[in-house]
Structure 1
Amino acid sequence: MLSTTGPELRSLRMLFILILVLLFQLIDGKRDLISACTTCKQISENFNKGFDRTMKQNFGGGNTAWEERKLSKYETSEIRLMEIVEGLCESSSFECNRMVEEHEEHFETWWFKRKTKHPDLHKWFCIETIKVCCPKGTFGPDCNACVGGSERPCHGNGLCDGEGTRGGSGKCSCNHGYQGEFCLDCIDGYFNEIRNDTFSLCSECHSSCKTCTGATNQDCDECKEGWEEDDQEACVDVNECLKDPSPCKEDQYCLNKEGSYSCKACDTVCSGCTGVGPDKCQACASGYQDTEGTCTDIDECSQPEPPCTKENQECANTNGSYMCICSSGFEEHDDECVQTPQPEKAEESEASDSDLHREL
């Protein structure tokens, strides 16, 4: 039996840790490359906004015409450039400010020498000069074409990882409905309406199909759960509510839906039901009676033999039941209805008790 000694085990651990560190560095490196391009793109967009914002400004001095004649035009001046550069980054954005500071001379070069020939600042600065971005449809250090080609990355059916940056893997993240390395295949529930080596259009199957070759319920290769194939080989809804016994509880009724069903509570007046409402009861609950096909409350208080028989007691009807309450002027005491004490008599009783106490 082979065994690993202490030094060998430590070496294996160190190797494992080193692999993890390198892996994390690789992931962080790709993330930094994508982040650098995002920052550069934002700088370019802010530069264009600043350019538009300063379009109609001037030196702001007392004699603008003289300054432009003797010095330079504000339109192409260094002053205007500095005003634009100062507004490129938020003060809290470290990465943006660092990039602008490191490459400030490039803005001057472009402004005074390259702007006319290279009007697209993002392309000249981010892609061709500091090389943190790639052209649309390409990715990675060498700006390789995305899967499917740079004109239609992922054949137009997904997103290319790292597209437009010097990072990413170039792999496709397919849009909903599509799958596969090239985003040309359809997921379950979709079918290829059009398909060739470079183009694919996936459309949704009929709601009854798990897989299909067309748009109708007769084009299903396989029916979804809750559907079944009929004599015409079409997927049709299974009515679970017709099953015996019912899939629902005794105090519920079954409501069929396409591909499924749901159980709903019966009306409280019902003992079992076939649908919603007191007229869909299979039988009436206790305290209710069938009145022309509808379960209605039984007024126990109107029965020939009243249910409340104690002295000074009255019957109060409730939905599905009744209550025995004391008549007006009486209150319940020890399960009996006794007369409610009158305020005057209560005061006299208190006075008598007080006199008796003084005599004692």
Structure 2
Amino acid sequence: MLSSRGLQLQLLACSVLLLLLFQASNAKKDLKSACSTCQQITENFNKGFDRTAKQNFGGGNTAWEERKLSKYETSEIRLVEILEDVCESSSFECNRMVEEHEEHFETWWFKKKTKHPDLHKWFCIDTIKVCCPKGTFGPDCNSCIGGSERPCHGNGACDGDGTRGGSGKCSCDPSYKGELCLDCVDGYFSEVRNDTFSLCAECHASCKTCTGATNEDCGECKEGWEDNEACVDVNECAKEPSPCKEDQYCLNSEGSYSCIACDDACSGCTGAGSDQCQACAEGYQDVEGTCTDINECSQSEPACLKEHQECINNKGSFICICSSGFEEKDGECVQQNDATEESEASQTISDPHREL
């Protein structure tokens, strides 16, 4: 058994390892984040440069100021005005980077701008080295898989592309897979393929895998299709018993089917509508092949059997209500008393929109 001291040492070693892994993970994130911040700074700097292109010192005698104080176009005042607007006040990382490298901006502005007009390349890539040229990654700006001109052979994204972080591994586009993003995923086939280029095209809708564009080129059929010298649709609705419930009808579609509720007039059906019933539901009758509502209230035998009741027909059924001047009590329709009538009359006068 481990002693208490040995157990403590093991726990400490695990904690140190976890901390190192956490720090390494954060370091990679920080490298990508630093490049993103620098990119934003240089983009905003260029916007500020364009915005101030036609400005001047703003004083009363611009000609004298430009002659004596140097031109606004290349002045320190213009540089300061541009730098003031490159960061949001709430962006700590952006403001920290600008403050930390203020001297570099001055050097580029006064000495390097003409020879190195691309501020992002000069500042972010070559000087403070938080970014890499497009198509490269990592501390040494190594080429992404597939080469810097076409990272991941044009079929994916290189992890860390353009930054000093990342692994350089490819995250392939949806149609592609493999370390080089040259292979096709299931449902696609290589229309064109060589060592450096691959074009994946979609298989026929019936194919799970394929070698070409038609249903005859399937390697394996998708569910809902069957191999009959080509992948053809399975008509699930032709199967016995039906895959649908008794109160539903089956509608076949390519590679699948749907179960749809029968019309209310039907007791079982073969399709949509009251003319596709296998039998009529209770309260309906067959009239020239269509299940039609029975008007129970118009039958020779009265539907409502209690005294002072009226019959109201509705689809597939009917209801019995008390006639005007009567109210239901204990399941019987009894005449309303004078007090009730006077009360209702009074409410009707005070609220003419009240339903009777």
Q: Does the pair score TM above 0.5?
A: yes
Aligned partners of 2:129 and 2:146: how far apart in 1? 23
> C-alpha deviations, 1:213-245, integer Å up to 9, x for none?
111111110000001112xx1111111111111
Q: How does 1:133-144 map onto structure 2 within 5 Å? A: 133-144=131-142
Give 1:342 deviation, angstroms: 4.0
Aligned partners of 1:110 and 1:122: how far apart in 2? 11
Q: How does 1:279-358 map onto structure 2 within 5 Å? A: 279-342=275-338
Match of 1:125 in 2: 123
Letter in 2 for 1:100: V
Match of 2:174 in 1: 176
> C-alpha deviations, 1:231-272, integer Å up to 9, x for none?
xx1111111111111111111111112111111111111100
Q: Do structure 1's residue 260 and structure 2's residue 256 form an aligned pair?
A: yes
> C-alpha deviations, 1:148-175, integer Å up to 9, x for none?
1001000000000001010011000111
Aligned partners of 1:332 and 1:73: how far apart in 2? 99
Q: Secondary structure of 1:194's match?
A: strand
Match of 2:158 in 1: 160
Q: Secondary structure of 1:216's match?
A: coil
Q: Secondary structure of 1:67's match?
A: helix
Give 1:7 deviation, angstroms: 2.0
Counterpart selection for 1:115 from 113, 116, 119: 113
Match of 1:103 in 2: 101
Identity %: 76
Match of 1:355 in 2: none
Aligned partners of 1:4 and 1:268: how far apart in 2? 75
Give 1:337 deviation, angstroms: 3.0
Aligned partners of 2:107 and 2:340: how far apart in 1? 107
With over 3 angstroms needed to count, the CA separation of the structure-2 counterparts of 1:63 and 1:285, relative to structure 1, is same
With over 3 angstroms needed to count, the CA separation of the structure-2 counterparts of 1:283 and 1:263, relative to structure 1, is same
Aligned partners of 1:110 and 1:156: how far apart in 2? 35
Give 1:9 deviation, angstroms: 1.8
Match of 2:45 in 1: 47
Match of 1:220 in 2: 218
Q: Secondary structure of 2:171's match?
A: strand
Match of 2:346 in 1: none
Name stretches of at least 5 consecutive residues in structure 1 with no aligned partner: 348-360
The TM-score with structure 1 as length reference comes to 0.91
Equivalences, count: 343
Letter in 1 for 2:259: C
With over 3 angstroms needed to count, the CA separation of the structure-2 counterparts of 1:311 and 1:122, relative to structure 1, is closer
Does 206-215 or 76-85 show the bigger shift?
A: 76-85
Q: How does 1:221-240 map onto structure 2 within 5 Å? A: 221-230=219-228, 233-240=229-236
Does 274-283 or 300-309 show the bigger shift?
A: 300-309
Name stretches of at least 5 consecutive residues in structure 2 with no aligned partner: 344-356
Letter in 2 for 1:268: D
Match of 1:352 in 2: none
Counterpart selection for 2:269 from 267, 273, 276: 273
Letter in 2 for 1:83: E
Match of 1:90 in 2: 88
Give 1:46 deviation, angstroms: 1.0
Letter in 2 for 1:215: A
Give 1:310 deviation, angstroms: 3.3
Q: Secondary structure of 2:87's match?
A: coil
> C-alpha deviations, 1:70-100, integer Å up to 9, x for none?
3311111111111111112111111111111
With over 3 angstroms needed to count, the CA separation of the structure-2 counterparts of 1:281 and 1:77, relative to structure 1, is same
Give 1:346 deviation, angstroms: 8.4
Q: Secondary structure of 1:112's match?
A: helix
Letter in 1 for 2:235: N
With over 3 angstroms needed to count, the CA separation of the structure-2 counterparts of 1:272 and 1:32, relative to structure 1, is same
Q: Secondary structure of 1:280's match?
A: coil
Aligned partners of 1:345 and 1:87: how far apart in 2? 81
Letter in 1 for 2:181: C
Aligned partners of 1:25 and 1:311: how far apart in 2? 89
Match of 1:358 in 2: none
The TM-score with structure 2 as length reference comes to 0.92
Alpha-carbon RMSD: 1.8
Aligned partners of 2:330 and 2:86: how far apart in 1? 87
Letter in 1 for 2:231: C
Q: Secondary structure of 1:128's match?
A: helix
Aligned partners of 2:164 and 2:310: how far apart in 1? 90
